Structure 1
Amino acid sequence: MGSKWDIDKFTGSNDFGLWKVKMQAILTQQKCVEALKGEAAIPATLTQAEKREMIDKAKSAIVLCLGDKVLRDVAREATAASMRAKLESFYMTKSSAHRQLLKLDLWKQ
Structure 2
Amino acid sequence: MSHAKSHTALIWKVFAFLSLVTIVEVFLGIVKPASLNLTQFLGTSILNWIFLILTLVKAYGIAWYFMHLKDEKTWFRRAIVWPVVFLIGYLAFFLLYEGDAIGMIVQEWTRWSYN
Q: Does the alignment reach a TM-score above 0.5?
A: no
TM-score by length of 1: 0.35
The structure in which a higher percent of residues are helix is 2
Larger Rg: 2
